[in-house]
Structure 1
Amino acid sequence: MATLSAVLATTHHPFYLKATELTPPEERIPQAAEWKRKVEAYRETLTAADPDILVMVGADHFHQFFSDNYPTFLIGKQPTYDGTFYNEEREFSIPKYVLDGHEELSGYMLQGLLDRGFDFSVSHELKIDHSIICPIITTRPQADLPIVPIYTNIFAPPLPSPKRFWDLGRAIRSIIDEYPSDAKIAAVGSGHLSLELGGPRQFGETGPDPEFDRQAIEWLSTGNVDAILENVTHESMAGAGNATHGFMDLILMMGIAGPEAAAYTDSLDLFHTMEAYITWYPNGDPR
């Protein structure tokens, strides 16, 4: 059977590459050097796991799905994936990518999810946006591993519940554990902590709700799913910032790992957002 070698839950800040490498040193933000150090340390948690395949979880930022037809959950199944949309190149200086797919694992996972009561959509012409490309840049910049992309709806109401995201993570874990292969699989997913987009709290000195951020990181790092499901609702996330629902993708990642303490936790308060970096090793810490 396959081995789940690591689970990574991370925020995805689209300006990372531009802020830390593509901007001249004299024009960089004061946190640029610390940000780069933290990301490179986090990258090592994936490198240590030595994966063969990446299952990647993200959400489409209305690049190809819209409120009139936004799949609740979707998996890609194709030999390659083009990455980066034009506005992401223009605004964030994110380069284009072509990522290999792993059609066999995609098909196996699709059937396994259907068997477990998750009615997934499937795409054979999916393009990848920064919710997956940013974690590629930060955790696997050589982009040399095949991926199985999973997209979730965190933007277009009605949204699934936080419990549904946790349950989906548990289902993905059971499928990986049963996959008939000697491959080492890592799951890398990105989402948000408290986040405001286009609202009055977007450009504050911290994320819009520092207390939510503190609690969220503590819950994730300690594997405290009971506290998450007791305290995190669509209403509470909206109160923390109008785009905070991306936290549900981090709940999903903890669902893949299980209700266990993380092996690695770090964060960075970056002006208008809190960045978080969390890694679990379900089958033992390779470090």
Structure 2
Amino acid sequence: MAKLVATLASTHHPFYLKATTAQPGDRMPQAAEWQRKIEAYRETLTRACPDLLVMVGSDHFHQIFLDNYPQFLIGKAPLYDATFYNEQREFGLPTFLLEGAEDLSRFLHQALLDRDFDLAFSNELKIDHSIVCPIITLRPQNDLPIVPIYTNIFAPPLPSVRRFYELGRAIRAAVEAYPSDGRIAVIGTGHLSLELGGPRQFMETGPDPAFDRQAIEWLRTGDIDAILASVTHETLEASGNATHGFLNFILMLGVAGACPADYVDHLDLFHTMEAYFTWYPEGDAR
């Protein structure tokens, strides 16, 4: 059977590449520190030596719209075009052609259906920055096949907080049941407190620093009981109108097994808290 070799969860700030490749005189003050942190985080994936990547993100209304918005969706394509025009224009993100792990996609889709998760699927999915950003930060050589999984964190009504956690557990069980000797890493991205287009968008910190600190501690310790007792859709909304991206962190904690993280780091930027977590299965890649 396949082996889960690492679980990684992070924020997906689309300006990382632009900020760290700008000319020295144009760089933001935190650029050098940000780059050091990303390179250290990248090493946590590299040392796990994965063969395949399962990547969890969310479409930012690039191709999934309110006329037909699935709660969870898996890509099943042989190739994925990546990066939309507005992401090239606004964030300076490059385009990619990502290889799809078709056999693993088919297996995971059926395995998750068997575990009572009725995922929609797409054979023609295009990838946006929720998955492009971790390719840039964690695997810039883009040399591994991927299975993309999209979650609904934007269009109410949303799945429950517990449902995200349970999907993470189901993804892990499905990965470990895959009849292969492959080494699989699961990578997911989301947000801590975040405001998009609202009055708290461009503060000196994220809109809710207290939530950010608590969220990092919950993930550092793997305290799913505290998360499920404390986090609701209403509390996430109170911390910022895009804070529902934290649901993807909860999903990744399910994949990891609700245990303490092996690697934790964060960086307070001018309007958001960036955070990075890695979990290894017991005895692997430590």
One fold, TM greater than 0.5? yes
Q: Is the 8 A contact 1:4 1:283 kept in 2?
A: no
Q: Distance in 1 between matches of 2:66 and 2:215?
A: 28
1:230 aligned to 2:229? yes
1:125 aligned to 2:134? no
Q: Which runs of 5+ in 1 are unaligned?
A: none
Q: Distance in 2 between matches of 1:173 and 1:133?
A: 22
Shift of 1:286: 1.4
Shift of 1:259: 1.4
Q: Distance in 2 between matches of 1:286 and 1:159?
A: 35
1:48 aligned to 2:47? yes
Give the alignment of 1:24-43 within 5 angstroms.
24-43=23-42
Q: Distance in 1 between matches of 2:95 and 2:17?
A: 13
Please name the residue that 1:4 is paired with.
Answer: 4
Please name the residue that 2:257 is paired with.
Answer: 258
Q: CA offsets per residue over residues 24-62 of structure 1, 9 Å max, x none?
A: 111111000000000000000000000000000000000
Secondary structure of the 1:49 match is coil
Please name the residue that 1:57 is paired with.
Answer: 56
Please name the residue that 1:89 is paired with.
Answer: 88
Shift of 1:282: 1.5
Shift of 1:66: 1.0
Shift of 1:231: 0.5
Q: CA offsets per residue over residues 215-242 of structure 1, 9 Å max, x none?
A: 1011011110000000010000000000
Q: CA offsets per residue over residues 75-119 of structure 1, 9 Å max, x none?
A: 000111000000000000000000000110000000011111111
Q: Distance in 2 between matches of 1:83 and 1:259?
A: 31
Q: How many residues align?
A: 286
| C-alpha RMSD of matched pairs (Å) | 0.6
Give the alignment of 1:207-226 within 5 angstroms.
207-226=206-225
Q: Distance in 1 between matches of 2:52 and 2:262?
A: 21
Please name the residue that 2:277 is paired with.
Answer: 278
The one-letter amino acid paired with 1:12 is H
Q: Distance in 2 between matches of 1:101 and 1:283?
A: 28
Give the alignment of 1:30-179 within 5 angstroms.
30-179=29-178
Q: Distance in 2 between matches of 1:66 and 1:284?
A: 43
Q: Which runs of 5+ in 2 are unaligned?
A: none
TM-score by length of 2: 0.99
Q: Is the 8 A contact 1:263 1:285 kept in 2?
A: no
Shift of 1:284: 2.5
Q: Distance in 1 between matches of 2:233 and 2:160?
A: 7
Secondary structure of the 2:158 match is coil
Shift of 1:68: 2.3
1:16 aligned to 2:16? yes
Moved over 6 A (4+): none
Shift of 1:283: 3.8
Q: Is the 8 A contact 1:3 1:283 kept in 2?
A: no
Identity %: 71
The one-letter amino acid paired with 1:122 is F
TM-score by length of 1: 0.99
Q: Distance in 2 between matches of 1:259 and 1:212?
A: 19
Please name the residue that 1:249 is paired with.
Answer: 248
The one-letter amino acid paired with 1:3 is K
1:198 aligned to 2:197? yes
Secondary structure of the 1:172 match is helix
